């Protein structure tokens, strides 16, 4: 049943506000007498994350440049040693013609792969652990959990993942610099910040994209090829960023463009895109020149703002995207992104994803339509979008329809038990990775899935049982799970779960049952 939150009993509205829109509360009294007002008060930019060893984007990129430099030195030394023994270049794990820099950045072949990966992981360990821990501790301790959930939503929408080596050490900075400051503003501003951040440019390979007619490609084409030089040379576009901005960040999947790419991941959200493969190519031309100059950092050791527009890599001439012509140069990107941000397909796609995240795997079409209308009427004003969501009776159906992801499960458990930083003291991710969701390491640019079917496999369910049992054995004797269930779940607590808690043999068993109860697993 759907009713406006003001028409719901306060306890029912409080449990929905705390668990569906927030990240759970140990006591529903935290929500106060006006659950809707509690949510509205949290709308705005995310609070800055505070922690030790938090690197900014420039420092993360510099750390990657340092690894490449050091690895080049190691490879050069190995090459010299193997030349003396007559074993040849293949002993280094490099193919004929591969430069030391290529091998360092891209990994090496059999024999040295494991050691290189270990070195790479160790090089970034302090940054990665600090980024993961501060994300989770911030969420576990926040007094603005609805705001934190919005930050999570947008970080997943604009995924940058450390599962890809080129983004290692910069994912946390991307969230802090491109996402969190802008979630309380306008979608256009958020989109521009995300696309132009060094983390996104590196994650989706735009610093390897050169215009086919750019100065750098023409210069390389004129240079004589050396014997054994690997091919092909840098000759043109990389369409990764252009495709994902259109398909995953703005318009949604277009059947023609997705088919041309052999993909179609976004089609689960609906065929709203309305763009073609030609639009992807033209947008990729617009994006040429937006780079992270790693080679310059290697030469100078600079840790200045890493994103640059390099005219020498930009494809000259006008470009046509969605039927509109754009002049060459650095200003074209902002113009295209502005047009995409205000496109009706973007409004529908973003609205669908927001409704899916908060309300139901298959959200009501009426709710999606209302969100899209608010998006367009307000010019992409995000606070207006959030208020439209939380003021809709369709978002306050009393039955919990969303299954918590592993990250949501662990963080809401930490909040339930008021563990704070303690929950992430031993392992920075609190065991989330063992549940199948590596924090800040989504498997693709599409981000982590947001539907129950993706998290309900038998193995996934059993891992939740194991995790809950471990936590319960650690802290179950110090808490009253029965009282906690009543305080946190209120009217959502069912008679069946109440009976199970009463029959529990001891505190740890009672807490494990509470953490695994359907009322707590869903929101």
Which residue from 332, 152, 119 is spatially nearest to 242, judged by alpha carbons? 332
pLDDT digits (tens, 9 = 90+) for 316-326: 999 999 999 99
Q: Rounded CA gap, 375 and 385, in Å?
A: 6
pLDDT in the model for residue 101? 39
Quick: pLDDT tens for 464-484.
Answer: 999 999 999 999 999 999 999
Residues 6+ positions from 495 with CB-CB distance below 8 Å: none
Please tell me the predicted confidence (pLDDT) of residue 277: 95
Mean model confidence pLDDT for the chain:
89
264: exposed, middle or buried (C-beta count within 10 Å: 0-12, 13-18, 19+)? middle
- Report if residue 331 sits inside a domain: yes
At residue 303's C-alpha, the angle toward residues 297 and 308, to 5°, is 65
| pTM of the model as a whole | 0.90
CA separation for the pair 15, 397 (Å, rounded): 11
For residue 26, being part of any structural domain is answered with no
How far lies 96's CA from each of 71, 82, 92, 226, in Å?
18, 14, 10, 12
Tell me what pLDDT residue 271 has: 52
Report pLDDT for 96: 30
**Does residue 282 lie in a domain region?**
yes
pLDDT at 69: 79
Q: Which of 336, 288, 335 shows the shortest CA–CA distance to 310? A: 288
Domain membership of residue 235 as a residue range: 206-341
Residue 81 has pLDDT above 90, yes or no: no
Query: Band of the pLDDT at 302, cuts 50, 70, 90?
Result: low
Residue 221 lies in a domain: yes
pLDDT digits (tens, 9 = 90+) for 162-190: 999 999 999 999 999 999 999 999 999 99
Sign of CA dihedral 404, 512, 503, 24: negative
* pLDDT tens sequence across 94-136: 333 333 334 444 443 444 555 777 888 888 999 999 999 999 9
Cis status of the peptide bond prior to 345, with omega within 30 of 0: no
Under the banding of pLDDT at 50, 70 and 90, the label for residue 398 is confident
- What's the rounded mean pLDDT across residues 245-255? 89
Question: In angstroms, how far is the first alpha carbon of the chain from the final one?
Answer: 15
> How many structural domains compose the chain?
1
516, 465 contact by CB (below 8 A)? yes
User: Does 135 map to a domain?
Assistant: no
Q: Residue 37: inside a domain, yes or no? A: no
Sign of CA pseudo-dihedral 373, 149, 364, 258: positive
Asked whether the beta carbons of 252 and 273 are under 8 A apart, the reply is yes
Backbone angles phi, psi at 320, to 5 degrees: -120, 115
The H or E element containing residue 392 is none
Helix (H) or strand (E) holding 466: helix 458-475
Establish if 433 belongs to a structural domain.
Answer: no
pLDDT value, residue 260: 41
- Residues 285-296, mean pLDDT to the nearest whole number: 90
Q: Say how far apart CA 146 and CA 37 lie, in whole Å.
A: 12
The CB-side HSE value for 13 (13 A sphere, CA atoms) comes to 21
**Inside any domain, residue 112:** no
Q: What's the farthest any 2 CA atoms get from each other in the chain?
A: 83
Element (H, E) at 229: none
């Amino acid at each position: 049943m759907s009713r406006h939150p003001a028409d719901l009993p306060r306890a029912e509205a409080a449990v929905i506000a705390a668990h569906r829109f927030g990240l759970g509360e140990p006591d529903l009294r935290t929500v106060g007498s006006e659950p809707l007002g509690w949510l509205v008060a949290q709308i705005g930019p995310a609070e800055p994350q505070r922690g030790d060893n938090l690197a900014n984007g420039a420092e993360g990129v510099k750390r990657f440049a340092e690894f490449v430099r050091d690895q080049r030195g190691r490879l050069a030394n190995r090459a010299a040693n193997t030349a003396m023994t007559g074993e040849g270049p293949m002993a280094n794990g490099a193919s004929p013609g591969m430069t030391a820099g290529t091998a360092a950045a891209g990994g090496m072949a059999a024999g040295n792969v494991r050691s290189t990966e270990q070195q790479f992981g160790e090089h970034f360990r302090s940054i990665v652990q600090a980024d993961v821990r501060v994300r989770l501790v911030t969420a576990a301790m926040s007094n603005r959990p609805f705001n934190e959930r919005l930050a999570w939503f947008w970080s997943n929408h604009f995924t940058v993942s450390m599962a890809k080596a080129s983004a290692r050490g910069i994912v946390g900075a991307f969230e802090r610099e491109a996402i969190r400051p802008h979630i309380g503003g306008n979608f256009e501003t958020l989109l521009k910040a995300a696309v132009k951040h060094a983390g996104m440019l590196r994650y989706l390979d735009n610093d390897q994209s050169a215009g086919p007619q750019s100065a750098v490609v023409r210069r390389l084409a004129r240079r004589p090829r050396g014997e054994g030089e690997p091919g092909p040379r840098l000759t043109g576009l990389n369409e990764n960023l252009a495709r994902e901005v259109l398909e995953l960040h703005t318009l949604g999947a277009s059947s023609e463009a997705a088919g041309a790419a052999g993909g179609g991941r976004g089609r689960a959200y609906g065929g709203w895109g309305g763009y073609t493969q030609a639009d992807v190519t033209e947008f990729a031309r617009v994006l040429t020149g937006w780079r992270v100059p790693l080679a310059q950092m290697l030469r100078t050791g600079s840790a200045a703002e890493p994103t640059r527009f390099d005219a020498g890599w930009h494809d000259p001439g006008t470009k046509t995207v969605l039927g509109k012509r754009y002049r060459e140069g650095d200003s074209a990107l902002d113009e295209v992104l502005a047009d995409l941000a205000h496109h009706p397909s973007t409004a529908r796609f973003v609205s669908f994803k927001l409704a899916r995240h908060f309300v139901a795997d298959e959200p009501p079409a009426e709710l999606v339509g209302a969100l899209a209308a608010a998006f367009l009427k307000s010019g992409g004003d995000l606070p207006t979008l959030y208020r439209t969501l939380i003021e809709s009776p369709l978002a306050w159906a009393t039955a919990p329809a969303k299954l918590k992801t592993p990250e949501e499960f662990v963080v809401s458990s930490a909040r339930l038990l008021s563990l704070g930083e303690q929950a992430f003291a031993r392992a920075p991710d609190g065991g989330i990775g063992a549940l199948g969701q590596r924090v800040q390491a989504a498997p693709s640019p599409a981000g982590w899935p947001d539907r129950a079917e993706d998290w309900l496999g038998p193995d996934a369910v059993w891992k939740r049982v194991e995790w809950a049992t471990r936590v319960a054995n650690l802290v179950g004797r110090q808490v009253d799970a029965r009282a906690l269930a009543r305080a946190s779940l209120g009217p959502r607590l069912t008679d069946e779960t109440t009976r199970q808690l009463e029959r529990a043999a001891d505190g740890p068993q009672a807490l494990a049952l509470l953490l695994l109860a359907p009322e707590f697993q869903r929101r």
